[in-house]
C-alpha cells in the first residue's frame, strides 16, 4: 500500500505505528461500538485503507482545528 504519497508505518513489534498520506481523498473515523473504532482512508485509483481499533477501556481523544 505504500507509495511516495501514502505510507503505512509499523513499529518494531510489527504493530501499526502511523499512516501518513498527502493524497487522501476522504478520511472517516467512526465509533462502531463501545470498544471498536473504524478508520477509512480513501485514496486515488480506488485504493482504500481501513483500520480497525479496539480497546478494553475507553479511548480518550481530542480534536484541535488550526
**Total domains present in the chain:** 1
Residue 58: the pLDDT is: 82
CA Rg value for the chain: 13
Residue 1: the pLDDT is: 64
- Per-position pLDDT tens, the chain of length 66: 677 799 999 999 999 999 999 999 999 999 998 889 999 999 999 999 999 999 998 888 899 999
Q: Could you tell me the residue range of the domain that residue 32 belongs to?
A: 23-56
Burial class (CB in 10 A: 0-12, 13-18, 19+), 41: buried
Q: Contact at 8 Å (CB) between 27 and 43? A: no
Residue 57: the pLDDT is: 87
Q: Does residue 10 form part of some domain?
A: no
Residue 61: the pLDDT is: 84
**DSSP-derived 3-state class of residue 1:** coil
Q: Does residue 48 form part of some domain?
A: yes
Q: Does residue 8 form part of some domain?
A: no
Amino acid at each position: 500500500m505504500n507509495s511516495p504519497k501514502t505510507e503505512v508505518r509499523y513499529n518494531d513489534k510489527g504493530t501499526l505505528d502511523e499512516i501518513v498520506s498527502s493524497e487522501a481523498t476522504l478520511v472517516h473515523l467512526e465509533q462502531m461500538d463501545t470498544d471498536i473504532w473504524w478508520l477509512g482512508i480513501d485514496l486515488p485509483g480506488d485504493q482504500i485503507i481501513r483500520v480497525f481499533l479496539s480497546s478494553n477501556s475507553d479511548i480518550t481523544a481530542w480534536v484541535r482545528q488550526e
